[in-house]
Amino acid sequence: MPQANKTYRTYFLGDACLCWELGGAINRLTSLQVLYVFRQLRKDPALARLGAHDVVPSYTALAVHAHPLCDWEAVRRLVNACLAAMPADEARLKERSALHVLPVAYTGEDLPRVAGRAGITVEEVIRRHTAPEYLVAMIGFRPHFPYLLGLDRSLVMPRLDSPRAAVPAGAVAIGGEQTGIYPETSPGGWNILGMTSPELLYSIEPGDSVVFRRAEA
């Protein structure tokens, strides 16, 4: 069975969090590797017995939160063993996960500007934004805010020069090469394309998939 030949480094954040960094740039393969280890660790009761109480994935790293006086070397050995057993091929890294279909009313105030910058029509922006099946790489910024990989490269957009003081809950937006959804009203500098129901975000977890479907405004 081929194994992933992946280098990584570990480092502490304070005295209660140990991190494994698998890469330095956002890409699908690294996210799938992080998510694979995340899923395996969540299924392993040995980690909790060692004093760990949370495992958190990011785009390129995995954080294990535990009691400061836990056996960190045992935690390290457990996670390292999981990394060593990681499959090499992308198809086996991505396990079957939940698919969330989110209806979006594409009425966002930044939609015309995104279309103009991309050199396409508003209708084409909507078509390209609803075409992919996105990977939920991580949850962050706010509780239930999903960071989604899979955005069409033509829709990559810089963040706003001046962030808004209040982006409404349920706003579907683009920031750089990412798309995501604001779960609550909060400041934000992403380009707003439309609106969905923020309650639909509560069941989304890292490793899941998201598809956007156009809804009536």
Asked if residue 146 and residue 87 are part of one domain, the reply reads: no
162 pLDDT above the threshold of 50: yes
For residue 132, the enclosing domain spans 99-214
Highest mean predicted confidence (pLDDT) among 79-88, 93-102, 114-123: 114-123
Q: What is the average pLDDT value for the chain, to the nearest integer? A: 93
17 pLDDT above the threshold of 50: yes
From 35, 64, 93, the end of a domain falls on 93
Q: d(Cα 199, Cα 196) in Å, to the nearest integer?
A: 9
CA dihedral 201, 101, 31, 205 (to 10 degrees): 30
Please, how many CA atoms are within 13 Å of residue 106, restricted to the half-sphere of its CB?
Answer: 18
From 93, 124, 141, the end of a domain falls on 93
Q: d(Cα 176, Cα 163) in Å, to the nearest integer?
A: 14
Q: Which of 21-30, 46-55, 72-81, 92-101 has the lowest mean pLDDT?
A: 92-101
Asked if residue 141 and residue 155 are part of one domain, the reply reads: yes
From 93, 123, 141, the end of a domain falls on 93
Give the rounded percent of residues in the chain with a pLDDT score beyond 90. Answer: 87
* Helices (runs of H) and strands (runs of E) counted in the chain: 6, 13
pTM of the model as a whole: 0.89
4 pLDDT above the threshold of 70: no
